[in-house]
Structure 1
């Protein structure tokens, strides 16, 4: 589905405030999707919730800009478990026209607006962890909110190591933090979304066990954004409060020990063939 989204790419790289300009482009993609997609379409509600949640859009851009420097020279990137592939859209803006972007997901959905914008080579997965790509196919792999949903995360890490080129980078973002206070609140309210949660040190050791050397790791998003699309978050007053308070995340993410209670982990690791 091509809805004339090419003009949304214009001028972003030259703007001094990438966070704002990238977030604006992502918001426009969400709106374009809703304008051309019937409500009964699968994932419409999920997209609708994100389209109205500026705090959720900003957190995605912030996470991207934290890992983007390690992908600056990448020419072939896999967006693993991409769904609507927001990261691929951001990568297209960041890397320009020459990058070759691929995406895959076991979860079916119609996201042509996003995929067309990213010029994504999308392939639906037929296996829970095996990937339909040759060995050493990519300079980088991005897993945004994906590893915690994988049926066998260990087997998935083996496959990601296989399809990466030597010294290529694996990016894991939006990995639910075991010590997250928002995860604890959701669990207490019966809104548990993540059945697997991870500790930073343990995850870094596990990545090393699977052939990845962590080069950057930290915590992301201390304050809530209600990205899950709860009814409460859809109220204008609540959305406004979330948006106004979101700017404090940058400070809290650098403040020990508050940052240990953040919602997500973010890790960049390099594929190595020997330690």
Structure 2
């Protein structure tokens, strides 16, 4: 059985497209959404607005901004802890399609679960800005940091599955929540270490023009990929019998096709618009 997230775009896009335009579609039930895969774009805009307001407040009242920041951080941790404690078992005795859809809905586009990485990213950006894009650290600290990262990854992939069924529900939820936070900290550490004098190949890779170019297409690719997949599959004359090799080939084909169309849209629409906005911004500064 293939689990498909409910979609009624043929009806919802006419009735509820204004929610996507205002980037508030994540506050409504999934059955009422148009292009439900665009939830990530909406969350990015919501987090950007919230983060900008916090940073503006930090320039005037740093204490108030810090209080709001840590309040959001604590609520995010509590929300993730509640999700991992499996509250759905109170309403569903066994795994069902409704339970899986509900859990996916809460996991993917819930603002409290997604704001934690964004807040940590704000702290990372603030640190990089204050240090001028450089991270001074000794070789001992770097070695210890990388060993700690490897240890956390090992515990998550190999240690946690061994004890997951032998510990209390709340202890398990707490452990998974802490590992979730630790994973975000690992990403922060990778970024900081690449800015140090020991960045090496990692620094070259993260600063490469190819990675920067691919990153510029991220939002366009997110919106285009499901459209391309739906167009190809729904235009088929017969059913498709999937196998491991066929899935891999389809993945490669859809990925390449998506980036080609994203590049075309970037050249003809996104790049001219960004250039115009840059010129207007520089003109206003003068």
TM-score normalised by structure 1 residue count: 0.26
Q: Quick one: higher RCO (CA 8 Å, sep 6+), 1 or 2?
A: 1
User: Hey, which of these two has a bigger chunk of helix by percent?
Assistant: 2
User: Hey, which of these two has a bigger chunk of strand by percent?
Assistant: 1
TM-score normalised by structure 2 residue count: 0.25
